[in-house]
Amino acid sequence: MLLIWISENIYAWKSALGILDSTEPGRKYKIYRALLRIDEKSFEPQFIVLENTIGDIHWRREETGFYTGSLEKAFPEDKVWINSKINIPFKRSSPIDCMAVRMDEHIIGLNVFMIQKTRLFLLIW
């Protein structure tokens, strides 16, 4: 799930998570809540939008596991809070995770990556 929240007060994240009613008429924030699905042939991102008051974000695949969303002046500095996470366990042997970040006022990035298992070897002479 990807959640982007834009407000004057980025620390009031509880209302973005639905702790307060997000449909209240006096809300002072915009929200984009969507589920990501990757097309198995083109690997292009396909979002199932659950709620969107920000605008139509244009998503595209930049490289393996890295996607960008763009919308003109939609992500102002110090007013954007982004939360992304993998909701359903991945069925492969390698676990995956994701991270989203505001890149500038027009672009956000979403990185989907495998979590590398580190091995510690102890050599005794």
Q: What is the per-residue pLDDT for 57?
A: 94
Q: What is the per-residue pLDDT for 42?
A: 76
Instruction: State the total domains in the chain.
Output: 1
Residues 61-71 have pLDDT tens digits of: 899 889 999 99
Q: Does some domain include residue 15?
A: yes
Q: Does some domain include residue 73?
A: yes
Q: Does some domain include residue 124?
A: no
Q: Does some domain include residue 67?
A: yes
Task: Please give the residue that has the higher pLDDT: either 45 or 24.
Answer: 45
Q: Does some domain include residue 61?
A: yes
Helix (H) or strand (E) holding 14: helix 13-16
Residue numbers of the domain that contains 66: 2-114
Task: Please give the residue that has the higher pLDDT: either 80 or 4.
Answer: 80
How much of the chain exceeds pLDDT 90, in percent? 23
Q: Does some domain include residue 119?
A: no
Task: Please give the residue that has the higher pLDDT: either 108 or 20.
Answer: 108
Nearest CA to 65 out of 43, 82, 87 is that of 43
Residues 71-80 have pLDDT tens digits of: 999 999 988 8
Q: Does some domain include residue 42?
A: yes
pLDDT (mean) for 85-92: 64
| pLDDT level of residue 102 (50, 70, 90 thresholds) | very high
pLDDT (mean) for 46-53: 86
Q: Does some domain include residue 121?
A: no
